Amino acid sequence: MNEADIRGSDDKGLHSVPVWDWPVRLFHWAVVVLVVVSVVSGRSGGNAMVYHMYSGYTLLGLVLFRLLWGIFGSTYARFSQFVRGPRSILHYAKTLFKRTPSYTLGHNPLGGLMVVVLLLALLVQAGTGLFANDDIFIEGPLATLVSKDTSDWLTGIHEININLLFVLIGLHVLAVLYYLLYKRENLIAPMVNGNKAVPQGVAETAIFPSVWRAVVLGGLIGCGVYLIVTQI
């Protein structure tokens, strides 16, 4: 059964299939928490900037992990599964106003595009924060490696990019609500329990790697981020 057949199916005879592995789900909700912590601590300033910096380091590690997990992770976590070209994205966009679930396994083409853009925006935000400064007491761990002008320029990008992130996050939330209320497709539950309801006849095709792959990959990235921020 191809994607078009799945979209054309009705709601009868649905069954649950595993789609999202635990690293993807943990990444998703951890990013939600860390973005809130980063924004609140950044707006608060003062001693709260310590939490801002640590949340930024953690976000950097998570984004790097997700990028690698998009290569070495489970079936539907991989970029090769959900990154599509303009033609596929436009073709899928034509189905947006149909009041029926898409039943797409993994990310649909538009959702895949949003994932890539969000990851890039998060990477820019965390990366520029390493070189940023507030012209008073606080500066990123790598700010001394570049000139003051370069640090100021990256600080400007850091401050502008957060507004782009707000827009992207807002669009993401609105899209999830649109699918839930209009298209009658719950995208929240699968990101909690890992399972997605699809029509009968859709096989369980996801391949989940060993938990140790995620643990080792996460450990290596954690060590790498630590070495970067401490300049060892």
Predicted confidence (pLDDT) per residue in 200-225, tens digit: 877 777 899 999 999 999 999 999 99
Q: Has residue 7 got a pLDDT over 80?
A: no
The predicted model gives 103-119 an average pLDDT of 95
The predicted model gives 118-133 an average pLDDT of 97
The predicted model gives 106-119 an average pLDDT of 96
When pLDDT is cut at 50, 70 and 90, the band that residue 137 belongs to is confident
Predicted confidence (pLDDT) per residue in 12-42, tens digit: 578 889 999 999 999 999 999 999 999 999 9
- Higher-confidence residue of 200 and 52: namely 52
**What pLDDT does 19 receive?**
94
**What pLDDT does 232 receive?**
62
- Cβ partners under 8 Å of residue 125, min gap 6: 56, 59, 158, 161, 162, 165
**What pLDDT does 101 receive?**
87
> How far is it, in rounded angstroms, from Cα 143 to Cα 124?
15
Q: What does the mean pLDDT of the chain come to?
A: 92
Q: Tokens 């973005």 sit at which residue?
A: 35
Global pTM reads: 0.91
Domain ranges, ordered by start, for the chain: 19-230
Start-end of H helices in 45-108 = 49-72, 79-82, 86-93
Distance of CA 88 to CAs 113, 154, 208, Å?
Answer: 11, 35, 26
**What pLDDT does 3 receive?**
47
Considering 8-12, 120-124, 182-186, the range whose residues carry the highest mean pLDDT is 120-124
> How far is it, in rounded angstroms, from Cα 192 to Cα 180?
15
CATH fold of 19-230 reads Fumarate Reductase Cytochrome B subunit (1.20.950)
The predicted model gives 99-119 an average pLDDT of 93
**What pLDDT does 136 receive?**
78
